[in-house]
Chain A
Amino acid sequence: MNHFPGTWGRPRDDVYGPYDSSYLQTTGPKTHTQSPAVTGTSVIAVKFKGGVAIAADNLASYGSLARFTDVKRLRKFGDAAVIGFSGDVSDMQYIDRLLESIDIRENYSAHGNQLNAKNLHTYLSKVLYKRRSDFNPLWNHILVAGFDSEKKPFLSSADLLGTTFSAPHLATGFGAHLAIPILRRLFPEERSIEEISKEEAVSALKDCLKVLWYRDARSMDKYSLALITQDGIEVHEDQQIEAQNWAFAESIKGYGAQTV
């Protein structure tokens, strides 16, 4: 034994090699916020004539465990916008409270200037970028649906890096792989938004949700769907995916304990 308390009770350097003291580090950046814990999967949204439709299922997963089955991942901001969150649920709650405090402050006086969806999207993308620059990202990919200052339908996304992307239809997570191709086939680029009816947009979203439920193991068949039009916001919660047909599953081979 020597007079260095830090080495007491540790394996001897001359026998086991120098002790890796990086395990004892008490300074440096926090790392437990740098990965998500409870997560929501895809959010999908489509612009149509006179508005935007957005949908997400009601599941929050803890890893592969379907932990919470009644989570509302579509949040209203006043009468202006709906924000769909995928990714970390606690970060979603943080952003939701942030938006709530902004909404309260904005309504201290009835001046009539309301934040629109475009303002919100700009703000949120800056918040996300600030947090990623602090190496403490908000682990979300969000879609903001509503109207811009010219009252035209607005739909845009922002991710945990603060990257933004906008298109007439958008999807996050698995939806980016499974829903976007369907939406692109239904609403090709040469088809103007003016030709897309509300009903068509909703049925396209429902089709996408069904495909996601079939193929995304972190999804569920209960979902919420919101419609943002000039008449206001309708949020339909606790919807159920209908007319499920799992016959295709018979033909899937090559997983698990099957003997082909």
Chain B
Amino acid sequence: MLLIQTSIGTGYDLSNSVFSPDGRNFQVEYAVKAVENGGTSVGIRCKDGVVLAVEKIITSKLLKPGANKRISTVDRHVGIVSSGLAPDGRHFVSRARDEASSWRGIYKGPIPVSALANRLGGYVQAYTLYSSVRPFGVTSIMGGWDSEAELAVDGQGYYGAATGKGRQAAKAELEKLDLASEKLSLHDAVKEAARIIYVAHEDNKDKEFELEMSWISSLDGPTQGRHEEVPKELLEEAERAAKRALEGDDEEEDEGAKGTGNVGERMEE
């Protein structure tokens, strides 16, 4: 009976969609655990757009810079960044693209970001229900700009979101930004996103990484409501600023994030 706390050997983790007596679904929790080790990704919603950023850990020196993109365009106005298993992320994005294009087929217009998030939420959840499938090995953040001037990160309408290994450090930084007041401009949000990825990487310093960022501005902003990669010059500028900010921090005191392994974290899609 000592084993109940660890869940192994209880028999409740042998198959998907089996619940333990206290209402936990262990296979889903294992999947969330797996995702916790993925590269950190963040999404910031500000007054005139959304920024997505991801820490892409370089797994091999043979990889070309910019290979294996982690941020994908789903429709003109929507982008998705995912932490976790890259192939699962690609499948998820592929489904998102199908949903977005089928919406256009029916309604002759772009899918509202919240509707897309809803549909994908349902899709991901279906993969927790059957013993023939396994849950998704990704946590994704979706950002978009609805032309009716409503924007959503993560479907639930977060001001900011973070997933992956450094998510707790990232979330702490996001909370400091006071995003709810909508004072942050898109350009500043790009710089903040880059800085947050660098901060979140502090605990994982032995591995090299590449910063990947995309943005969606308002219709009269730089991307005209489209999801695009952040231009190279701006990305480099943001990276320089992020490094400078970190060096400044180091002099004061190194304030790293707490350890991982908070099981209270739920999958956010």
Chain A contact residues, CB within 8 Å of chain B: 97, 100-101, 104, 107-110
* Cβ of B97 under 8 Å from chain A: yes
Q: Which residues of A contact B97 (CB under 8 A)?
A: 108
| CB pair B229 A104 closer than 8 Å | no
| CB pair B108 A110 closer than 8 Å | no
| CB pair B228 A104 closer than 8 Å | no
* Cβ of B101 under 8 Å from chain A: yes
Q: How far is the CB of B243 from chain A (nearest CB, A)?
A: 25
| CB pair A101 B101 closer than 8 Å | yes
| CB pair B76 A97 closer than 8 Å | no
B85-125 Cβ-contact flags toward A at 8 Å (1 or 0): 00000000000010001001000100000000000000000
Q: Which residues of B contact A108 (CB under 8 A)?
A: 72-73, 97
Q: How far is the CB of B216 from chain A (nearest CB, A)?
A: 13
Q: How far is the CB of A89 from chain B (nearest CB, A)?
A: 14
Residue of A nearest to B94 (CB): A108
Q: Which residues of B contact A101 (CB under 8 A)?
A: 101, 104
How far is it, in angstroms, between the C-alpha of A165 and the C-alpha of B69 when the chains are bound? 42
Residue of B nearest to A103 (CB): B76
Q: List 16 A-B contacts (CB under 8 A).
A: A97-B104, A97-B108, A100-B104, A101-B104, A104-B75, A104-B76, A104-B101, A107-B76, A108-B72, A108-B73, A108-B97, A109-B69, A109-B72, A109-B73, A110-B228, A110-B229
Q: Which residues of A contact B104 (CB under 8 A)?
A: 97, 100-101
Number of interface residues of B (CB under 8 A): 11
How far is it, in angstroms, between the C-alpha of A104 and the C-alpha of B229 when the chains are bound? 15
Q: Which residues of A contact B108 (CB under 8 A)?
A: 97
Chain B contact residues, CB within 8 Å of chain A: 69, 72-73, 75-76, 97, 101, 104, 108, 228-229
Q: How far is the CB of A99 from chain B (nearest CB, A)?
A: 12
Q: Which residues of A contact B229 (CB under 8 A)?
A: 110
How far is it, in angstroms, between the C-alpha of A107 and the C-alpha of B72 when the chains are bound? 10
Q: Which residues of B contact A110 (CB under 8 A)?
A: 228-229
Q: Which 9 A-B pairs have the closest CB atoms?
A: A108-B73, A110-B229, A104-B76, A104-B75, A107-B73, A101-B101, A101-B104, A97-B108, A108-B72
How far is it, in angstroms, between the C-alpha of A101 and the C-alpha of B97 when the chains are bound? 11
Residue of A nearest to B229 (CB): A110
Residue of A nearest to B228 (CB): A110
Q: Which residues of B contact A109 (CB under 8 A)?
A: 69, 72-73
Q: Which residues of B contact A107 (CB under 8 A)?
A: 73, 76
How far is it, in angstroms, between the C-alpha of A104 and the C-alpha of B103 when the chains are bound? 13
Q: Which residues of A contact B72 (CB under 8 A)?
A: 108-109
Q: How far is the CB of A118 from chain B (nearest CB, A)?
A: 24
With A104-B76, A109-B69 already in contact, 14 other A-B pairs whose C-beta atoms are closer than 8 Å: A97-B108, A100-B104, A101-B101, A101-B104, A104-B75, A104-B101, A107-B73, A107-B76, A108-B72, A108-B97, A109-B72, A109-B73, A110-B228, A110-B229
